[in-house]
A and B are shown apart, each in its own frame.
Chain A
Amino acid sequence: MEKMVNIKIDGKLLTVPDGQNLVNAAKDNGIFIPSLCYFEHIEPPLGTCRTCTCKLDGKYQPACTMKVHDGMTVEVNTPELLDMRKSLVEMMFSEGNHFCPSCEKSGNCDLQHMAYELGISVTRFEHLFKDRMIDYGSKRIIMEHNRCIKCKRCVEDVVTDDGKKVFTYQGRGNETFVGIDYKEEPKLSEQQAIAAMELCPTGAIIVRGVSMAHPFGEREFDINSEQKNFTRRFPKSHKPAGMEKKVLATASLAGCFGCHMSMLDIDLELLDLVELVTFNKSPLTDIKKFTGRCHIGLIEGGVCNDENIETLKEFRKMCDILVSVGECAVWGGLPAMRNTIPLSECLEEAYLNCVTSEEGANLVPYHEDLPKILDKIYACHDIVKIDHFIPGCPPSANHIWKSVKHLLWGEEYSILYSEFKYD
């Protein structure tokens, strides 16, 4: 029989096996400590991502590098720690270039999953859009450096049968990336290569031809939360009684109208909604100019030109509440794929050098009447203050309208795990 010890997590007394890893000890007792780099059989634990930071006997420590001992006191869910852990995951999103809607791993991704569990709808940090490459140098494995969070799992765990490392960090500081050995990689068996892809908590290691086996929407992290009480409830707030009629405006900036389509996606409920709101300026009504103040403005799309800036500023002036709807508005989304590439390269590719451009084309359009294109795509909150963020590409109709009703009439609402998505 293993020796049992008593520890206290958030005031709750638990009896656990002596020396057990704290993340596991907590998990066995239904307490969720977010972890990303922790991989049970790697010892000593990697301790790289820091998302498991807790307060252990009064000191901030990553839980995954701690073994429990008798009398240990652990704080997990204090507001400060919750926020700190959330910020670490946010950092990973702002540091990498994560375009979930176009990622093979979406739905099976630990990073994405952790962000869902923590309810991250927007990062507090500016997205850095550092230019990173995709390494197609090996025959079988693709390294997508935009998505790697440097957890070190692959570095420690993927070795060939003769004991050589296939992956190792290269460079230092913010330039660090995981290098793959073109000569050793082919020595992995197909199974070992797939195991490497699966061990990667993100979509950074992709094995050609097998990454899309399982349909999106039905993947491991698409449906159920790890936390018993995931649902994030927004209690009824104090707003004037009765559902007085409200005025709405919407705009699509650098977006694809997908979010607008999603807004219409509530089927019959739409009929109830029209009873409650009137639309002012919006592509849905085709009203081009504001005719009065609005209670709420919904913005789809990021900011890619000076006209977008004007529109956005106008919305800010005319709307009491402004909401970024969808990934593009929230941080740039798919159009922001151009953010790591100089504007001149993008324009010249589009107008001069691409296969469909006309023979002898030598002009990038520029005219006083044309909107001026910005050096990159900006999030709406880089330009004006945004009050609320709804992630998703597009967000589910339910998520949009529940939020709107809450913001307008203070209605209680809750977002289910399955409604909270980035893809």
Chain B
Amino acid sequence: MKELFPVEPMRSSLLDKLWDLQNNNRYISDSDISHLAAELNISAVEVEGVVSFYHFFHRKPSGKYTIYIDDSIIARYKGYHRIVEAFERETGATLGSVDRTGTFGLFSTPCIGLSDQAPAVLINFRPFTQLNVIKVKELVQQLRNGVDIDQMYHPPVSNVCTTIYSKKNIFFNSYTPGKAVKELTKHTSDDILSLLRDTNLSGRGGAFYPTWKKWEACRSYTADYKFIVCNADEGEPGTFKDRVLLQELPGLLIEGMIISGFTVNAQYGIIYLRGEYWWLYDQLQKTIDEFYKLGLLGKDIVGITGFNFDVRIQMGAGAYVCGEETAMLESMEGHRGEPRTKWFYPVEKGYLKSPTIINNVETICAAARIVELGVNEYNKTGLPGSPGTKLISVSGDCQNPGVYEIPWGITVAELLELCVAVDPYYIQVSGPSGECISINEKFRRISMLDLLGLPDLRCGGSFMIFNKEREIIDILLNFASFFKKESCGICTPCRAGNFIIERKLEKLKNKLARQSDIDDMISWGHIIKTTSRCGLGKTSCNSLVMAMQKFGGYFDKLIDKKEDSLMVGFNIEEAVADYEQYKS
């Protein structure tokens, strides 16, 4: 098992312990639960509560080979159903269960961060991508024949796309380990903060909060120890830019964390890596080990006396909401990943009630590049007020899906051209929690600027492209069911509201809805947004509401307008179908 930092209590190792059990025994047994409870001196029901929160932990054997099939909307359009069928046929397991011999467990899971290579699955957390029915057959055959899975598996390609803008790349450019960190010998923490301020670096996890403000606030608190947490949970369906950064530039990320630690006077760094990215673990750990050897981690880093910084990896276990920063802290502390109230902010009382910075992978990498390049060089790219580049994960109906590094300021149309989009019609920007745009908005600029009247598109990191053949209602239903399952379940509007919305959308899909149902959804979306505790509930209905406003013509076709206004849409055949079975 991995070591904790000396300041961390044993409870913080709960997720790791559960992972060990899950990986070794393929499930977590009742006796495991009682042992853990005794060890941590908590009740068994509390351990169970944690186990049941994360969908990669199983309470029943999950098969010698546990197969997770990506069921994101992109995967659904790239053959999810065929793949499920093929796996069911070949393994003898039905989706959601294990075959009779206990060899194969077949489960579906939300986006696994490989939408550019859909359809894809994880088998014992190793990805197999761009599958088709024949490949599935071969895979299962080989596993049955006892071929070592590690021999069959090749890490997926990273898919960084080269474009006319690539010469301006900031991230995907040459990288020398230690180059950024060595700059620290020339800087004070004030310098770093001004570098970040002058380059307008803001949170790439989607909220665009100015990074320097967060760091400055954290610096202002005195505490025995502080933490830098890298948010590598990348759970937003359709997003995979952080995966590619972790694949291509793990060193740059660690440097950014070291710089952050230097600036706010933190001693410990934790990378919270989503369970779907186990396959990136070894390389990331190797990079950390090398950094220790190079004197870039550990004590007196790059010769700065008293500057000590350590980094470890924490594996997540399948819960989108743990990407929310306070839920992540709860999860790291060995609890259920329920977001906290705003009673305290993490910069004051975060992980273990100590001041904590949480930043996205891309934000941290950008900070490292800014220190390495300096303000002038960095600001040469992009727009005034929105300098630099942005990584965008592009997937869906286009010829060249992958990660695009683009200067801030290009338009949607340009990006669609770069990836050779095919008949784009509906585009989901920044994932289900982001916004949807119609092709009519293709001349909008992608930047951080929010000029009144003409707001630019602030893209958090993904573009899912859908052509005119795709049913918008299916897209929205996929999102609604995602939020319904991924809500942490503690606040009413998000837990119950997303469930209610899903039902209403089903009604709409079944052509039983009226205009008033659409109006209801818009108004309920507003209620869920305003009353939910955390970002998940606050954003879950964004796309739905926008879609209904932007694609009115499409929804008009789904609702039935002729019906008598005194009657409500009701399908009597369906309602009596169960009873009709008794007709002899």
Contacts and interface: CB of A to CB of B under 8 A. Distances in A.
Interface string B476-505: 000000001111111111011111100110
A382 B531 contact: no
Interface in A79-112: 84, 87-88, 91-92, 94-95
B39 to A, nearest CB: 13
B489 A150 contact: yes
A225 interface: no
Interface in A370-385: 372-376, 378, 381-385
B495 A176 contact: yes
Contact of B487 (A94, A126, A173, A363): A173
Interface string A120-152: 000011101010000000000000000001101
Interface stretch (A10-18, A42-50, A251-259, A267-275): A42-50
Contacts of A363: 584
B575 A374 contact: yes
Contacts of A385: 565-568
Contacts of B486: 172-173
A91 B45 contact: no
**Which of A149, A180, A313, A372 is most buried by chain B, counting CB atoms within 10 A of its CB?**
A372
B584 A152 contact: no
Given A88-B531, A173-B485, A174-B484, A179 B45 contact: yes
Contact of A94 (B44, B500, B576): B500
Contacts of A164: 41-43, 46
A59 B498 CA distance: 22
A118 B143 CA distance: 61
Size class of the B contact interface (CB-based, 8 Å): 35 or more
A183 interface: yes
B489 A374 contact: no
Interface string B32-64: 000000000111111011001101000000000
Contact of B531 (A53, A130, A166, A384): A53
B520 interface: yes
Interface in A12-71: 44-51, 53, 60, 62, 65
Contacts of A125: 496, 500, 524
B520 A343 contact: no
A126 B533 contact: no
Contacts of B46: 164-165, 168, 181
Nearest to A379: B568
A345 B560 CA distance: 34
B330 to A, nearest CB: 12
Contact of B583 (A168, A174, A366): A366
Interface stretch (B195-203, B304-312, B335-343): B335-343
Contacts of B344: 44
Given A91-B500, A125-B500, A184 B43 contact: yes
Interface in B168-188: none
Nearest to A316: B566
Nearest to A372: B576
A347 interface: yes
A171 B576 CA distance: 33
A174 B490 CA distance: 9
A241 B121 CA distance: 74
A296 to B, nearest CB: 15
B319 A165 contact: no
B525 to A, nearest CB: 12
A173 B489 contact: yes
Contact of A343 (B43, B52, B579): B579
B43 A306 contact: no
B451 interface: no
A175 B570 contact: no
A342 B489 contact: no
B240 to A, nearest CB: 23
A166 B496 contact: no
Contacts of B575: 374-376, 378
Interface of B: 41-46, 48-49, 52-53, 55, 319, 321, 336, 338, 340-344, 484-493, 495-500, 503-504, 520, 524, 527, 530-533, 565-568, 570, 572, 574-584
27 contacts: A50-B491, A51-B492, A53-B530, A62-B531, A62-B533, A87-B527, A88-B527, A92-B492, A125-B500, A128-B503, A149-B492, A165-B45, A168-B48, A172-B336, A174-B487, A174-B489, A174-B495, A176-B490, A183-B43, A313-B567, A316-B566, A343-B578, A344-B581, A374-B576, A378-B575, A384-B566, A384-B567
